[in-house]
Chains A and B, each alone.
Chain A
Amino acid sequence: MTASPVISVRGLHKSYGDFQAVRGIDFEVRPGEVFGLLGPNGAGKTTTVEILEGLRVRTSGDVAVLGFDPSLQTQRLKDRIGVSLQHTNLPDKITVMEALELFAAFYSRSVEPKQLLQRLQLWEKRNAQYSTLSGGQKQRLALALALINDPQLLFLDEPTTGLDPQVRLEIHSLIEELRSQKCTILMTTHYIEEAERLCDRVAIIDEGKIIAMGTPREIQAQTLGHSRIEIQCAAPIPDNPPAATGSETFRYSDDRRSLSVTSTHAAKTLVELVKWIDAQGLELEDIRLNRPTLEDVFIELTGKSLRE
């Protein structure tokens, strides 16, 4: 990565009186990547994001967002970013179009509301009042408002919290679309699958500290968690499997047609096992590799569950 980071955070601290909400955080967000802050409620995600958005003043540390110091160049920063906050509302009787026009007036540049609404599938709803919108439509409107100024950086704070699964998928595909357009996004979430699916890189935060960071794959790899290889054959499998690299335990099903192997080096183990089955002249029906989830990682790292 040669391009300078969009966000750079070094040694960030934030205290409220005696309570330390953020206790020394370092990370960078690079242009065009979707970066996720994952952690349980109260971990310090929202505080961190709000410091970056210029809404809160940090206690100490170095922060640069789009080259601005958020607590000093707040208005200039706000003009260039898009933000979708949790728990916000608009007046009941404002229409979709009016909301966009209102917010467009706040920024030094803005995109054509019509295109934006079409892109977010809200054009048909442009004259509908806010109170008549469904949860998904409200969230799409929130995204539209966050994009009205053609932001160089988008903050999404828990974009799908409280939405039903159907709507959540809708929002996910919208974010994926933005991701494909190389939009730089910093999002917070406490949904594992959301982070796994949407984020290029993730930082796991707990009690104000980053406890793991990297691509979802890298984080999984950093952990002691074991992958599990499931093999299914047409005929019973012989009970003398090879001591494949990394393999640890072997378990057969009652009819001996399926075998479950745990491994610390799943890829190597898998290749050696497939060779062995082939050598035995068995017909392979199915093979699956189950990696440890971020949830597993989180539990392993913190000893507690992500979901409250």
Chain B
Amino acid sequence: MRPYLAHIKINLKLTLRDRMILFFNYAFPLVFFFIFAQAFDAKQGGAITQVISMVLIIGVLGTGFFGAGIRSVQEREQNILRRFKVAPITASPILTASVVVGWAAYLPSVILFLVLANVVYKMPIPAQPLSLLAFISIGVIAFRSVGLVIASVVNSMQESQIVTQLLYLPMLFLSGATFPITILPDWLQVVAQFLPATHLFTGLQAILIRGETLGQNLSAVGALLLTTAVALFIGNKLFRWEKDEKLPASAKLWLLVVFVPFILLGTWEAKSRDSIAKSKQLSREMARGRTTLIKDARIVIGDGDVIPSGSVLIRNGKIEQVFSSAPPKSVEDIANVVEGAGKTIIPGLIDAHVHLGNPGGIVQDWAKYDAAKSMRHALIAYLYSGVTAVRSVGDSLDSILAMRKESASGERSESELLVCGPLFTTEGGHGTEYFAGVPEKYREQILKQFVRTPKTPDEARAQVRELKTAGVDAIKAVLDAGQASFLFNRMDASILRAIVAESHAQNLPVTVHTGDSKDIADAVAAGADGIEHGSDRDRIPDLLLSEMAKKGVAYDPTLAVVEAWNDYVAGKTDLLDRPMVQQVGPVDLIASTKKFIDSPDAIKLRERLGKYNVSVAIGMENLQRAHRAGVNLVAGTDSGNMLLFHGPALHRELQLWVQAGVPAEAALRAATSQAARALHAEGRIGSLAKGHDATLLLLDGNPLQDITVTERISGLYYKGERIGRSGLFGDEKK
């Protein structure tokens, strides 16, 4: 033990006397700190965590490769190690002292940068300071050990320079330490996963941004520790005291052995892509942390209030403040200022009725249809269209829950997804007809994904509980006997009551698909929270409307799907020519849909479907009366159905509402705060309230005067991140 302590003590003293070490550990990273902070607008928040990670990694690489590696070669070349050779000691105290002292000399710089970030750039104090220090310590120790093993396998200073640069440069440039890894081409991101520095950077970011612990970064921690152990073992075995003792060139292969943990980790990541996804998420979380001030715009709060000229301050992904007069100058200094004069800020729009797994058109080759890919495209299309949250009201349960998780991860920029579970209907009821053609073998399995057909109230309750456990956000039931040649069994009222009661007990809202006013009346009587479609076949009685108004039942008329249905039956494809539809595409889907509608098959099909009678005029009339009766209106589209492309459809819906006589202001409320309430998400989204997600649109014009202005999106912020709309679909391919 004495030789260890003596080496550590003297090494520490010598380190403190060495200006080069102080330069590499402190002065050099300090310069980078301020350069990066400037380059990444750290004053506006968010990016400071990236800056600090970059600087710390540069420091770790420096202390490892140059502080430990090159220095150790120097000591051998200068015949210093030779002097120790005659004493009764082994290499182990020398290696240990290098690692321990390297760590001790480096750690204060971590504190220095954290303090600087906190004082100068207002970075919050890390939530897990111990994990942060432990993780960076493990990193320093691993890189010091790697430096020492390099020293052990090279034969001269020249060789050590070459080997060091070969490892140092890729780690400097590909790990995220000099620029964000997410801007690299995909294949390079995969390559980067083989570098220890990348895992160090990602882990550091996760601990800083998300407040993760050491335990949540076990693979990186494990690989670093393993590398340390292997490196010290090999470094010790191959240690040479004299420059004249040469090793064969093949000794350099031992370096590969040292990196085996990261070769394995990289191979694993190349397959799983977990870490690549994580670095994308982290860079997204960071982008969301940027402070933005949108100035001098008209602000539609979403709850009915309008500020004629005000400003919105976005900070840490939330709405920090809404100013109805000029914001203080101090705010402008720390924010990215966006001029909003002549524009209107509205909350991100919400579509309460979508089928994400249906594409909205006819796919050329269904055998090649990839539902997950199509869902991903749809969620990106929603974001592009300013529809920042949607509720799926009927999709395959497992895949829609997986998609919700994926979209919540932040790996890609896409809209928020809320999920109703499988439809509650009845044997032979609406919702089951789509699966009649499915082979017997698979039918049971597929039905389970899409529908529940309880035979008794108890069964219904059990199924609601089961879906709650699965994690759905709401329950949708169907009450519709159909019409003409499209007749369905209709759910028994006692079962609907059971569904509603159990859903409420589980704190889930229940919304009911209806066909006509009798369905609405029964659903309202059963205690439903929302009505989907309402009636496009008959007039809703005034009494029922006022009862709905009194009970606060949400009414979601989905006029867009009624219009699209009639267009389809008539063979019209005008809806596909709308600019926003053309923008979100996909182009080949638009083409194949148009082609299909003109085909002989389609003509026959359209003739049959034409017997199912729904009227836009009746739907509009009911909506307008519901509005006047004070019913709680919610906007939804039934997108995914024929001719209804995900995203643009909601804008069409709002236009139909205004045509129906609903004021633009009320229509916007229905697509924002009221929809949020129906989704039980009013605490986070749907209005520009302090503390809500900073998800909002900057519109070019005044939608209160002209509802089509909602399609003229000149700025889009999602949870504080400014979204470049034109680049959104590029993300999809990765």
Contacts and interface: CB of A to CB of B under 8 A. Distances in A.
B13 A89 contact: no
Q: Could you tell me the dominant secondary structure of chain B's interface residues? A: helix
Interface in A79-118: 79, 81, 83, 85, 87-91, 93-94, 98, 101-107
Nearest to A74: B88
11 contacts: A78-B86, A78-B88, A85-B82, A85-B83, A85-B85, A87-B79, A87-B82, A93-B17, A94-B10, A101-B10, A107-B88
Interface in B25-79: 75, 78-79
Interface stretch (B1-9, B207-215, B249-257, B411-419): B1-9
Interface of B: 2-3, 5-7, 10, 13-14, 17-18, 75, 78-80, 82-89
Nearest to B5: A105
Contact of B82 (A76, A79, A88): A88
A76 B89 CA distance: 10
B80 A89 contact: yes
A89 B6 contact: no
B734 to A, nearest CB: 51
A98 B10 contact: yes
A53 interface: yes
B86 A55 contact: yes
A89 B78 CA distance: 7
A88 to B, nearest CB: 4
A94 B83 contact: no
B80 A78 contact: no
A5 B3 CA distance: 31
Given A93-B17, A93-B18, A88 B89 contact: no
A74 B84 CA distance: 14
A91 B14 contact: yes
Given A55-B86, A93-B17, A105 B80 contact: no
A79 B75 contact: no
Given A93-B14, A94-B10, A103 B87 contact: yes
B16 to A, nearest CB: 9
Given A103-B87, A104-B6, 13 more contacts: A75-B88, A76-B88, A78-B86, A83-B86, A88-B82, A88-B83, A89-B78, A89-B82, A91-B75, A105-B5, A105-B6, A106-B84, A106-B89
Contacts of B80: 88-91
Given A102-B7, A105-B3, A105-B5, A88 B79 contact: yes
Contacts of B85: 55, 85
Nearest to B241: A55
A98 B86 contact: no
B36 to A, nearest CB: 33
A78 B84 CA distance: 11
A106 B92 CA distance: 13
Interface string A55-67: 1000000000000
A106 B88 contact: yes
A105 B79 contact: no
B88 A102 contact: no
Given A88-B82, A89-B80, A94 B5 contact: no
Contacts of B7: 102
B86 A79 contact: no
A78 B82 contact: no
B471 to A, nearest CB: 63
A91 B2 CA distance: 20
Contacts of B75: 91
B570 to A, nearest CB: 91
Contacts of A89: 78-80, 82-83
Shortest beta-carbon contacts, A-B, top 10: A105-B6, A78-B88, A83-B86, A88-B83, A106-B87, A79-B88, A93-B17, A75-B88, A105-B2, A89-B79
B491 to A, nearest CB: 86
Contacts of B89: 106
B6 A106 contact: yes
B577 to A, nearest CB: 79
B528 to A, nearest CB: 82
Contacts of A88: 79-80, 82-83
A91 B6 CA distance: 15
B527 to A, nearest CB: 83
A102 B6 contact: yes
A81 B5 CA distance: 23
Contacts of A75: 88
Interface in A216-256: none
B541 to A, nearest CB: 96
A81 B87 CA distance: 9
A46 B3 CA distance: 27
Contacts of A78: 86-88
Contacts of B3: 105-106
Contacts of B79: 87-89
